Amino acid sequence: MAYLGLETIRRGNSAACIKDIFAIHFPQAHTVLDCTYGAGRFWKWDHTLTVTGVDIDPPGPVSLVADYRQLPFSHGQFDVMVFDPPFLFGQSKGLRRVIGTRRFFAGAEAAGIEDRINSKIHIQLPKNPVDLIENHYRRIFEQVGIAKHGLICKGQNLIVGAKPDFWLVNMINLAREMGLGDPADYLIQMSSASRMVDPRWQHQHHFRRRDAWYVVWKHASSNHRHDRQ
């Protein structure tokens, strides 16, 4: 592979970050499962990938309306899985509105989800970091075999009460526990979002989190194949 000169910190949008990850770690990939597709912002770049988009409350067209915790796909059906999970939990309504979390936290009744998939419990407000790990992230790691080559997760470290909550550490520990091993790599995206200087924040007790983390896990067979290239 040609030297790309890509660095750890990316001052760009989500599509630029995903493009960099595929260029280095999954250059031979053809099929991708995006478990939290949303408006498809990851894929707004020139590529030849076949992307299957899944979302429980999509703002636009998707391949399938479904809960990422119960994916209806078979083992090895895709090359790569991409997961941009909810990483907020029982914060104030004001913060959830600023961040933009309707798809994860509206609640099934408010979003009308039960009419689509005959369930009233698919979208629930996570109460704390443990709830997120046990009822959301663990479910994705349990299904990681759907992708042959690896998994890309995006998230953000936060402040919970008076202490930082390290999303990255939580994800790495969970992956180790479930046998995925350590990540192959990570990429940091720096945001210029206006909420970083929002005047509604009257007090500051910690440094503001404006960085998002993309963490890459690669399956053993994929690592071996990539090393030989």
pLDDT, tens digit, 9 for 90 and up, residues 80-100: 999 997 766 655 454 444 444
Would you place residue 128 in the very low, low, confident or very high pLDDT band (cuts 50, 70, 90)?
confident
Residue 51 has pLDDT above 90, yes or no: yes
Contacts of 30 (CB under 8 A, 6+ apart): 48, 49, 50, 79
Average pLDDT in the 43-57 region? Answer: 93
Residue 149 has pLDDT above 80, yes or no: yes
Most confident stretch, 4-18, 79-93, 149-163: 4-18
Q: Which CATH number fits domain 9-227: 3.10.20.30, 3.40.50.150, 3.30.1340.10, 3.40.50.300?
A: 3.40.50.150
- Eight-state DSSP code of residue 84: -
CA neighbor of 171 nearest in space, from 209, 123, 221, 216: 216
Interatomic CA distance for residues 90 and 143, integer angstroms:
26
Domain residue spans in the chain? 9-227
Would you place residue 126 in the very low, low, confident or very high pLDDT band (cuts 50, 70, 90)?
low
The model carries a pTM of: 0.82
When comparing pLDDT for 225 and 33, which is higher? 33
Main-chain phi, psi angles of 159, to 5 degrees: -110, 125
